[in-house]
Structure 1
Amino acid sequence: MNALDTIILILAITTVVTVGIFSGRNSNTADEFLLAGKSINKLQAGFSMAATDFGGSGLVAAIGYCYMVGMSGMWWNLAAAPAFLVIDLWLADKFNKMDGATLPEYLGQRYSSAVEYLATVTHVLTNIAALSVQFTVACATLYSITGFSTRISLVISVILVILLTGGGLKSVVNTDAALFVIIVLSVLISVPVMIRNGGGLSSITSQLPGGFTSIASLGFWTPFSWFVLCLLNYSTNQNYIQRMVSAKDEGTARFGACFTAAFYLIISVAIGLIGISSYVLMPGVEDTNTIFPRMLIEFFPHGLIGLGVSGVFAATISTGTSILHATTTLTINDFLKKLAKRENTTDKQTVVISRVLVVVIALLSMILSLFSSNIINVIYIAGLFYGVSVFVPMLMGMYSEKPTAKAALITMITTIGFSLCWQYWLSEKVPYIGSVPANIMGLIISAILLPTISYLESAK
């Protein structure tokens, strides 16, 4: 990076921080800090939801994956489009009308406090792991381009995420909107730059291994399991539900999901083209997490390097702030307020505790990021831990009165244990169906257990 790149990066960060601080200056009540007073409009909902989901795994890890397997790697992002459409059609309006700030709170009202506590704990642990991934990506980019040590890079990333999250949900949503613009610009500019350096698309494709341009080389189960993973995340994860709960009306909540689906249709193709172009231009790279930053250094003119680095930061920071704020909301709303008497906690105290939690959770994720290297695997396993276990109880609870509290609790515990066991042990030992992904098997078990146990209880 030269002086021009540094200036562009600093300007981008300064703009985002300014937006965040200005937006969060009036978040002095619990309702404003946690839910932005249910005032999120369509532009905020659409940009924020898209920026929230398209984080480090969607940019850096996905480019690295396309580098390894070809255009079929674009399914890591493309699978999000149909998942968001499902949310748009069947769940967004229900989340907006939901009596509560979080999904665990709804599960507690629908079933029992034990179900709420279990959902909260598993969700918080999952989010801490997901936040660590964003820090990992930011560190890899800073190290590759600036030469900063990973520890310095990590500290810079954590400080920015804490600063932008400390203003509450309105600050997070508005900075997401600014970050979304940076993300889109950096990705869309990268496509023609890489294709031109490769001598054109026909020249690039002629140098690829057989099947590298196919989007079907991963087969059926892997893309389908990613679609299931996306559906589970978007319908159970507070990062996304919070946007729909905080939307000013049902139409706004649905628009956010629909806008994000359209965004993924475009961005996944762009990521695939960047990945296969990098394969031709930079053969033999072992650490695929460094593909994007190395691409910036080797092929981008000065000025655009700064924009590219800003894009990585935008992707990681936007997702990081959303995860951190959602985790804080879960901890406050579904754990601490349940332990203490709600009426004894003032708005001011809640906001202060929330800001302290922002720092504590960010530091825990920072420590975990030092040990996480396989980004896609971390995200997938985190999904097994939470999303698979609560999806069926949530869905059946919304549409039927028959599922019972005891059945929901047993189903969630069993599904977590079974999904992890299938992922690490059973899938290798069971014939014929061993290739079925763990999240799909977990859903099947959950869908069998909940109605069965509920029926046995009612028959007593």
Structure 2
Amino acid sequence: MNILDCIVLALSILAVFAVGVLSGRRSRASASEGEFLMANKSLNKLQAGFSTAATDFGGSGMVGAIGYCYVVGMSGIWWNLTAAPAFLIVGFLFAKAFNRMDSATLPDYLGKRYSPAVKLLASVMHICSNVALLSSQFTIACAVLYTITGFSMTFCLIICLLLVICLTSGGLRSVVNTDAVLFVIIVVSLVVAVPIVLHAGGGLESIAARLPDGFLRVTELGFWTPFSWFLLCFIGYSTNQNYVQRMAAAETEDTARFGAIFSGCFYLIISVILGIIGVSAAVLMPGIEDSNAVFPELLLRFFPHGLIGLGVAGVFAATISTATSILHATTTLIVNDIWVPLRREKAVGVVRVSRAMVWVVALLSIGISMVSQNIINVIYISGLFYGACVFVPMVFGMKRSFANANGALASMLAALAVSLAWEYLPRFRPAVLEALPSNVVGILIGAIVLTAVSKLGASGSPRKTNHTQIEE
């Protein structure tokens, strides 16, 4: 990077920082729990759409997906493409229901629908999952900074840590508004990248002619792998606080639905763009062992100065937007679902504790990022750990009155045990079912257990709550 690249990168970061600080003033001035955690349910369509898309499209969606397409070919686009139908389905099935939900978090809703034990288990599982996800974003951001600038990893970690904490400390409104700016940076950087790599490779036809047989086919991964990714996305968007919070905080039900549908349409386009960049890189730079280094190397070798800075800003935008969203969501879970119910006095305000938790969670995630390796695997397992276990109680709680607390608790524990065993102990899989992904098996077992235990009347009739108010 030369001085021009540094200026472009610095201006991008300063723009994001300025928006974050200005947006956070409202939260700091009011010191309101509703403003800090939920932006007082006032997100408009632009905020909901841009923020939801930027929240999900993190470092794995950009750097990880380009590297994956570099290794397996165009079929690697399924890592992002499966998000499109998942978002669209969630938008039509659940977005309005989440907006009507009288809870700040999904575990909080589950606690009202079932029992405090269900709420606590769901919250703890979600927090663990989010900490793992946040660590993957720090890993990508630091890897890119280290590759491009040569700064020490410690220095890169400090930069990422301080920026994410600063933007998150302003509350949800600050996170959402900076997401909008970061989304624009992401889109511009990737749109600019396509003509650069195609020109460097002599055009699309020249690149295609130099690729191995089948490298441009999208069927190389078969059926079950893309399906498991779709299911991972669908479950995640239906249960993860990062997305539920945006739908719940939207100013209207239609706005909540728009945010999910906009994100699905975004993924239809961006997945193809990333695939083109990845397979082009396979021709331009064969032999790179670390797939996470593909895009940074592409920037250094083929981008003109100035645009290198824009490319780095795009990677930073992707990782930071997701990191701030995950960090704020995790803070909300800790404070709203664990700290508030346990506190004996109200001398310490929720906003003050929330800002303290921002530091705690960020530092813990930084520690994990120092030892994490396979980004996609981290994301898949973290989704398996929480989403596959909570999805069934969430759907049954909204749609089926017979589901009760014991059934929900048993379902979550059974889904967790079976899905993890299916993933890590393949020798115990029945031969006829061994092709089934872990999250599919976990959901099926969870549904069976919840139905059986609830029907047996283990805890009597279901809790009388307002859950029927959020049915479609």
2:176 to 173, 177, 202: 173
Give, in angstroms, the shift of residue 238 of structure 1.
Answer: 0.2
Return closer, same or farther for 1:349/1:88 CA change in 2, 3 Å cut-off: same
Query: 1:427, CA displacement in angstroms?
Result: 5.7
Give the 5 Å matches for 1:60-79.
60-79=63-82
Q: What is residue 47 of structure 2 aligned with on the other side?
A: 44
Partner of 2:21: 21
Partner of 1:114: 117
The alpha carbon displacement at 1:313 in A equals 0.4
Displaced runs of 4 or more, over 3 A? 426-429
Equivalent residues in 2 for 1:269-348, closer than 5 Å: 269-341=272-344, 344-345=345-346
Q: Which residues in structure 2 correspond to 1:442-457 (within 5 Å)?
A: 442-457=442-457
**Aligned-pair distance for 1:430?**
2.4
Q: Aligned AA for 1:417?
A: A
* Cα shift at 1:355: 0.4
Q: Report the counterpart of residue 151 of structure 1 in structure 2.
A: 154
Contact conserved, 2:422 with 2:429, CA < 8 A, in 1? Answer: no
Separation of aligned partners in 2, 1:148 and 1:441: 44
Residue identity matched to 1:441: V
Q: Deviations over 1:219-267 (max 9, x none)?
A: 0000000000000110000000000000001000000000000000000
Q: 1:334 & 1:267 partners in 2: Cα distance?
A: 35
User: How many angstroms apart in 1 are the aligned matches of 2:178 and 2:126?
Assistant: 24
DSSP 3-state at the match of 2:336 = helix
What residue in structure 1 maps to residue 464 of structure 2?
Answer: none
State whether residues 179 and 318 of structure 1, in contact with CA within 8 Å, keep that contact through their aligned partners in structure 2: yes
* Deviation per residue, 1:86-143 (Å, 9 max, x gap): 1111100000000100000000000000000000000000000000000000011001
Task: Judge conservation of contact 1:428–1:434 (CA < 8 Å) in 2.
Answer: no
Q: 1:245 aligned to 2:270?
A: no
In the alignment, the residues of structure 2 paired with residue 259 and residue 411 of structure 1 have an alpha-carbon distance, to the nearest angstrom, of: 33
Percent of residue pairs identical: 59
CA distance in 2, matches of 1:11, 1:164: 16
Could you tell me how far apart the structure 2 residues matched to 1:44 and 1:403 are? 35
Q: Which runs of 5+ in 2 are unaligned?
A: 461-472
Cα-to-partner distance string for 1:157-200 (whole Å, 9 max, x where unaligned): 11110000000000000000000000000111111110110000
Rounded to whole Å, the distance in 2 between the matches of 1:188 and 1:224 is: 28
Unaligned runs of 5+ in 1: none
Distance 1:292 1:164 in 2: 26
Letter in 2 for 1:227: F
The equivalent residue for 2:396 is 396
Judged with a 3 Å threshold, the aligned counterparts in structure 2 of structure 1 residues 428 and 192 are, in CA distance, closer, same or farther, namely farther
2:9 and 2:309 in contact (8 A); partners too: yes
Does residue 129 (structure 1) correspond to residue 136 (structure 2)? The answer is: no
| CA deviation vs aligned residue, 1:311-369 (integer Å, no higher than 9, x gap) | 0000000000000000000000000011114xx426x7111110000011000000000
Report if aligned partners of 1:62, 1:77 keep a CA contact under 8 Å in 2.
yes
For the aligned residue pairs, the C-alpha RMSD in angstroms reads: 1.1
- For 2:431 and 2:147, how far apart are their aligned partners in 1? 44
Contact 2:332 2:354 in 1 (8 A): yes
CA apart distance, 1:426: 3.5
Deviation, structure 1 residue 458: 6.4
Letter in 2 for 1:415: A
Q: Which moved more, 1:380-389 or 1:424-433?
A: 424-433
Quote the Cα distance in structure 2 between the aligned partners of 1:427 and 1:186: 45
* Residues in 1 aligned to 2:447 and 2:437: alpha-carbon distance in whole angstroms: 16
Structure-2-length-normalised TM-score: 0.96
Q: Is the CA contact (8 Å cut-off) linking 1:278 and 1:291 kept in structure 2?
A: yes
Tell me if the contact between 1:427 and 1:434 (Cα under 8 Å) persists in the aligned partners: no
Partner of 1:161 in structure 2? 164
Residue type of the alignment partner of 1:345: K
